[in-house]
Amino acid sequence: MFRLTKTSPHLLLALITGCCLWLSSCQTIDLYERVVNIPKQQWQSSFKPQFKFDIKDTTVPYQPYILIRHNEKYEFNNIWVKLYAQAPGDTARQFSLELPLANNQGWLGTAMDDLYDHRIAVSLDPAIFNFKRPGQYTFTLEQIMRRDPLENVLNVGLRIEKKP
């Protein structure tokens, strides 16, 4: 049976702190995240936010995410974007992506009041695009929906994580 002694609270505190540090170290390693406000919550197709970040370690795989924040008045279940990706010393490549935001049960993102945040993994074909060269990478987002401007979109962004 475990008996409490005068040193037990300190030992318990050290054990809890160690466990918390160990658990927090198991999270993904963020390399880059930037979010841009959409002017007047109306995403014009001419407004193309650009994201620049450096890759130094080319030995690990990376996962890009597109970040979208909209309110409940957004009228569509998805959003179509064109992603321009440029590796160091290369020409920009473009990818048309359909990003799902809702299904028959409702919005897919996390909700806070009437705002919805989406973090959507982007699967870029490694044969076409990869993070194999060190240097500065540039991603540009363009909305390509039929409605222009696209209303009720508050923010868009890019997040790059090292895969565990």
Look at the chain and report how many structural domains it folds into.
1
Q: Does some domain include residue 22?
A: no
The tens digit of pLDDT for each residue in 6-45 reads 545 544 444 454 444 444 444 445 789 999 999 999 999 9
pLDDT confidence of residue 29: 53
Measure the CA–CA gap between 121 and 99, rounded to whole angstroms. Answer: 9
Q: Does some domain include residue 157?
A: yes
pLDDT confidence of residue 14: 43
The tens digit of pLDDT for each residue in 70-108 reads 999 999 999 999 999 999 999 999 999 999 999 999 999
What's 127's domain CATH number?
2.60.120
Q: Does some domain include residue 5?
A: no
Of 129 and 40, the structure prediction assigns the larger pLDDT to: 40
Percent of the chain with pLDDT over 90: 69
- The type of residue at 152 is N
Question: Residue 2: pLDDT above 50?
Answer: no
∠ CA 86-92-98, rounded to 5°:
90
Q: Does some domain include residue 4?
A: no
Q: Are the C-beta atoms of residues 62 and 33 closer than 8 Å to each other? A: no
| Residue 125's pLDDT band (cuts 50, 70, 90) | confident
Q: Does some domain include residue 93?
A: yes
Domain span at residue 88 reads: 30-162
Weakest mean pLDDT among 6-15, 116-125, 147-156? 6-15
Any residues with CB less than 8 A from the CB of 99 and at least 6 apart, and which? 66, 68, 78, 79, 80, 81, 118, 120
